[in-house]
Chains A and B, each alone.
Chain A
Amino acid sequence: MNALRVAGRSLDTYRRPLLIWVAAVGAMGFLQVLFWPAFESSASEGLEQLMENLPAALQALVGETNLLTPEGFINSRFNSLFPLLIGVYAAFRATNETAGLEQDGGFELLLGTPLSRRELLVGKFLAVAAAVAAIMVGLGLLTVLGAVLVGMDISLGRILAAAVAMTFLGWAFAGATFLVAGVTGSRGITLGVGAGAAVALFVWYSFAPLVEALEPFRPLSPYDHAIGYDPIRNGLEAFGTLLLAAVALVGLMLAILFFERRDVGT
């Protein structure tokens, strides 16, 4: 119960920036889809050839070569920009709600009440998880709305599935970031490791397929389990989603374990 109070208070404090995030990311998805009819009619097969002739590294960055299908068009962002964005966002948000607050002395008054350290971290995690979910659900719904408006021939459910997969991806990075905060209590280290991992593992996910020796290790990146199996075409995959949930949960539990055993910093 106390954890829910902490989560509610955090979300309330963060209400305005969160609304801006939801609106901005949602608008990106919405506007992209609105361009689909113009893109579809103007693009010739030359584009496809152009994409196929692109260096492999650039193809990997775009995340999709078949831009002329609705799925490919959506994937050009759902398989590149958005997952990276939510991974980095989750790391930043998780840092601010944990080590960032702690280092500023923001835990002092809360932990002076009968609020346990576990309740505090669970509450903070719920707040971060809710923010990640709000942004991704907003993206999914606005993209679906755009697709309906322009009459895109695509499974709307799978757009939402991709948004859900990315929500779990964000939760996984939040859990990992909580763990660093639980161990160190240092804002700099937590943000560096959390956001650094979100970027580095995206690069790993994007470029591992280009190197034969690395390709088998692509699943080491959590991105592979959120978007690697192409949820826009295949729907939500249980294994990857559960794996990401497990990373989030284990990260949070270990964070609590370490946080309960060390000094609270200021």
Chain B
Amino acid sequence: MAAISTSGLSKNYGSVRALTDLDLEVGDGELFGFLGPNGAGKTTTIRLLMGLLRPTAGRAEVAGRDAWGDAVEVHRSVGYLPSDPVFPRNVTGWEFLRHLGSLRGGVPDTRIRHLADRFELDLSRPIQALSRGNRQKVGVVQAFMHDPPILILDEASSGLDPLKQATLNRLLRETVDGGRTVFLSSHVIAEVEEVADRVGIIRDGVLVALEGVDELKARAVRRVEIRFADAVDWEPFQRLPGVEQVEVRDRTLRLVATGSMDQLVKTAARFEVETFTSDEADLAEVFLTYYRDDDPDSDEGGDPS
């Protein structure tokens, strides 16, 4: 049985189509990454899964039950982290987590403390006095504290420093290794590809790609800048497969590389390299490659067919 499944799931706000015809299945024990730029429909999808929004059409099932009609039962099996979680005023981390725990029939303090310690979170302070990153940790702890079989996390690592992001990634891996299911949304590819088994990419409310992380990595788009000791001939670089937008200024070569960097590095190594930097391109650029693949005739950035 799939932990999460949707069929024809759609949500309109007036004439705005926030989500169109989403068909998706996330299996038990899977860590599913849900990628898309801001405003693509990730949060809409997640709030439909949580029964906070009523579908315009189609349906969503979580833990084998209807997400809208059976929301309370669904929530017994789910840990939910909304994007930018909001906490009440005048309440400490302990007070609030115990309150949420009591609504779930009680969560042992030891479990809360264990999670808080992992994230080095001080639960005795008022939540409102905490930094953005520490508030996010409170959100993470409340999602995991009752050890739910399904976790639905919206931009979980947002605001966390790199060390705590690594802690979160370890926690996510342990969670799925223990047979639980994670649905994780993000607008940053690196965050998701590090932990996810499979990835869905959404744009303008439409799921445009669904594939394993390895395939996604093979399509990864990077901006590369190489500075050489001497002026170089850029011809050999331009002929490399997957290399585009080659541009030379003095001794500096800039290009965009897709997929394996092997050929590029080997070609550059024939010359004396001073610096080599590679940044992951943002999601928008990755989408451009998808659209080109989907429909070679269409303009860049056009709607996928």
List CB contacts (< 8 Å) of A92-129 with chain B. 104-106, 108-116
Contact B52 A114 (CB under 8 A): no
Contact A16 B72 (CB under 8 A): no
Q: How many chain A residues have a CB neighbour from B under 8 Å?
A: 25
B75 within 8 A of A: yes
Cα distance A57–B103 in the bound complex, in angstroms: 53
For this complex, 13 residue pairs linking A to B, each with C-beta atoms less than 8 Å apart, are: A5-B99, A6-B103, A9-B88, A14-B90, A104-B86, A105-B82, A106-B86, A109-B142, A114-B76, A114-B104, A262-B54, A264-B47, A264-B53
Tell me the B residues contacting A by CB distance below 8 Å.
47, 50, 52-54, 71-73, 75-76, 78-80, 82, 84-91, 95, 99-100, 102-105, 139, 142
A1-39 to B contact mask, C-beta < 8 Å, 1/0: 010011001001111100000000000000000000000
Contact B52 A264 (CB under 8 A): yes
Chain B residues contacting A13 (CB-CB under 8 Å) are 88-91
Chain A residues contacting B85 (CB-CB under 8 Å) are 105, 108-109
Tell me the minimal C-beta distance from B220 to chain A in angstroms: 33
Contact B73 A111 (CB under 8 A): no
Tell me the minimal C-beta distance from A96 to chain B in angstroms: 11
Tell me the minimal C-beta distance from A262 to chain B in angstroms: 7
Tell me the A residues contacting B by CB distance below 8 Å.
2, 5-6, 9, 12-16, 104-106, 108-116, 261-264
> Closest chain A residue to B99 by CB distance?
A9
Task: Given contact pairs A5-B99, A109-B142, A112-B50, enumerate 17 new A-B contacts (beta carbons under 8 Å).
Answer: A2-B103, A13-B88, A14-B90, A15-B90, A16-B90, A104-B86, A105-B86, A109-B139, A111-B71, A112-B75, A113-B100, A113-B103, A114-B75, A114-B76, A114-B103, A114-B104, A116-B71
Chain B residues contacting A112 (CB-CB under 8 Å) are 50, 75, 78-80, 82
Contact B54 A115 (CB under 8 A): no
> Closest chain B residue to A112 by CB distance?
B80
Contact A115 B103 (CB under 8 A): yes
Tell me the minimal C-beta distance from A18 to chain B in angstroms: 12
Tell whether A110 pairs with B103 under 8 Å between CB atoms, given A13-B90, A104-B86, A105-B82.
yes
Chain B residues contacting A262 (CB-CB under 8 Å) are 54
Tell whether A116 pairs with B72 under 8 Å between CB atoms, given A5-B103, A109-B85.
yes
Contact B90 A5 (CB under 8 A): no
Chain B residues contacting A2 (CB-CB under 8 Å) are 103
Partner of A263, one of B54, B71, B91: B54
Contact B72 A108 (CB under 8 A): no
> Closest chain B residue to A108 by CB distance?
B82
Partner of A105, one of B84, B89, B142: B84
Cα distance A2–B102 in the bound complex, in angstroms: 8
Cα distance A200–B258 in the bound complex, in angstroms: 67
Cα distance A13–B80 in the bound complex, in angstroms: 23
Cα distance A171–B288 in the bound complex, in angstroms: 58
Contact B88 A106 (CB under 8 A): yes
Contact B72 A114 (CB under 8 A): yes
Partner of B87, one of A6, A16, A109, A111: A109
Chain B residues contacting A111 (CB-CB under 8 Å) are 50, 52, 71, 75
Tell me the minimal C-beta distance from A56 to chain B in angstroms: 46
Chain B residues contacting A16 (CB-CB under 8 Å) are 90
Chain B residues contacting A5 (CB-CB under 8 Å) are 99, 102-103
Tell me the minimal C-beta distance from B44 to chain A in angstroms: 10
Tell me the minimal C-beta distance from A114 to chain B in angstroms: 5
Cα distance A13–B90 in the bound complex, in angstroms: 5
> Closest chain A residue to B139 by CB distance?
A109
Cα distance A100–B80 in the bound complex, in angstroms: 22
